[in-house]
């Protein structure tokens, strides 16, 4: 049986009762039966491919919808948080002036040596805990400013996530791409693992940063989900010859050896029903191999953890990447 000029199987026919020289009409009939088997298998294969492509299209459309929602949320949050940050900075300056005035006033009153005036003020100062308030108020404002800045960072992460699909590759820093991705999935990771960054200095890579972010997101979330109790996720980058390598390792439950060759297949999942679509690693594989001419490999040991290693070549050109951009056919 041949499929696209590749041998995929053999069908054997044998006369059971007696040796026989097959006549031409029997041979033709057997060839027809063989072709029917081949066509049936080919149809099943095409149906599986069609179902996988359809599922990936739905997943891509869902991600686009999430991106639009994230963009809307980011826009709605950005304006009020800008007012809050600006007002907090002004409040910090005004408060410091008030604190300075209160302290100057206290010094001036002490020099009056008139207890009829200073004694009631001292009691009011003590009862009102003015000294504590003047010391604490600046710290409260600083904490509020830090919180507002953190919200700004989250909003920026949302805006980066929500950017439209890239049509053309651009030079990007993979370490920055990983930092942005880690910021996006921090809540998914922080209760499951401690994240260690081991980043080397890297040259910029011509790539589709948002698509790579999606691939890294899938790998990081998978790593977190593989950890039953609090573990560790190590994200490492380095340059090797004319390629950038990214390794994401976890101390999770590991993957059984018989599943390692199937984990990039569409719909394959070892999670419970409802826990995943089985498309995350398949999409990740397409992003790395088809969009970036790269490689992704996996090593795993049950009970010890799993490491995914991504290899991204530095020598790719804008034309070659654009012609293989999965954004254009929505995977």
Per-residue pLDDT tens over the stretch 184-226: 888 888 888 999 999 999 999 999 988 898 899 989 998 998 8
| pLDDT, tens digit (0-9, with 9 covering 90-100), for 301-320 | 998 999 999 999 997 766 66
Contact, 184 vs 176, CB < 8 A?
Answer: no
pLDDT score recorded for residue 273: 44
pLDDT score recorded for residue 212: 92
% residues pLDDT > 90 (the chain): 24
Distance CA 281, CA 279 (A): 6
pLDDT score recorded for residue 322: 61
Residue 61 has pLDDT above 70, yes or no: no
pLDDT score recorded for residue 105: 84
pLDDT score recorded for residue 108: 84
Q: How many CB atoms lie within 10 A of CB 169?
A: 22
Range 278-303 average pLDDT: 87
Distance CA 319, CA 326 (A): 14
Tokens in use for 57?
């299209």
pLDDT score recorded for residue 134: 85
| pLDDT, tens digit (0-9, with 9 covering 90-100), for 19-51 | 667 778 877 887 788 778 778 877 887 787 777
Q: Phi and psi at residue 275, in whole multiples of 5°? A: -90, -15
Residue linked to tokens 């995350």: 280
| pLDDT, tens digit (0-9, with 9 covering 90-100), for 108-164 | 877 877 778 778 888 888 888 888 888 888 888 888 888 888 787 777 766 665 554
Range 69-84 average pLDDT: 76
Contact, 294 vs 312, CB < 8 A?
Answer: yes
Higher pLDDT, residue 115 or 276: 115
Higher pLDDT, residue 86 or 165: 86
pLDDT score recorded for residue 274: 45
| pLDDT, tens digit (0-9, with 9 covering 90-100), for 222-274 | 899 889 888 999 999 999 989 999 999 999 988 888 888 888 877 666 655 44
Tokens in use for 108?
């001036």
From the number of C-beta atoms within 10 Å of its C-beta (0-12, 13-18, 19+), residue 15 rates as: exposed
Q: How many CB atoms lie within 10 A of CB 100?
A: 11
């Amino acid at each position: 049986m041949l499929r696209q000029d590749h041998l995929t199987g053999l069908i054997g026919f044998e006369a059971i009762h007696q040796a026989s020289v097959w006549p031409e009409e029997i041979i033709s009939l057997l060839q027809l039966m063989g072709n029917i088997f081949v066509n049936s298998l080919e149809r099943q294969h095409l149906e599986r491919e069609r179902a996988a492509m359809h599922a990936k299209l739905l997943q891509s459309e869902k991600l686009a919808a999430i991106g639009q929602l994230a963009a809307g949320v980011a826009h709605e949050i950005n304006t009020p948080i800008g007012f809050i940050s600006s007002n907090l900075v002004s409040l910090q300056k005004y408060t410091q002036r008030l604190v300075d005035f209160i302290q100057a006033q206290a010094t001036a009153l002490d020099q009056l040596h008139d207890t009829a005036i200073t004694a009631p003020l001292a009691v009011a100062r003590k009862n009102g805990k003015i000294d504590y308030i003047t010391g604490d108020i600046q710290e409260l404002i600083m904490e509020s400013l830090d919180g507002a800045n953190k919200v700004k960072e989250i909003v920026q992460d949302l805006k980066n996530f929500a950017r439209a699909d890239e049509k053309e590759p651009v030079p990007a820093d993979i370490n920055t791409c990983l930092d942005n991705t880690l910021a996006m999935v921090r809540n998914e990771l922080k209760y499951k693992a401690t994240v260690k960054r081991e980043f080397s200095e890297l040259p910029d890579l011509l790539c589709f940063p948002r698509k790579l972010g999606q691939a890294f997101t899938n790998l990081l979330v998978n790593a977190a989900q593989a950890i039953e109790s609090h573990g560790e996720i190590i994200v490492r980058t380095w340059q090797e010859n004319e390629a950038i390598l990214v390794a994401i390792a976890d101390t999770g439950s590991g993957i059984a050896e018989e599943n390692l060759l199937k984990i990039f297949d569409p719909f394959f999942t070892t999670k419970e029903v409802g826990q995943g679509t089985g498309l995350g690693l398949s999409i990740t594989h397409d992003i790395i191999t088809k969009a970036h001419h790269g490689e992704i490999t996996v090593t795993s040991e049950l009970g010890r953890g799993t490491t995914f290693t991504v290899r991204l070549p530095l020598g790719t050109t804008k034309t070659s990447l654009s012609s293989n951009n999965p954004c254009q056919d929505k995977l």
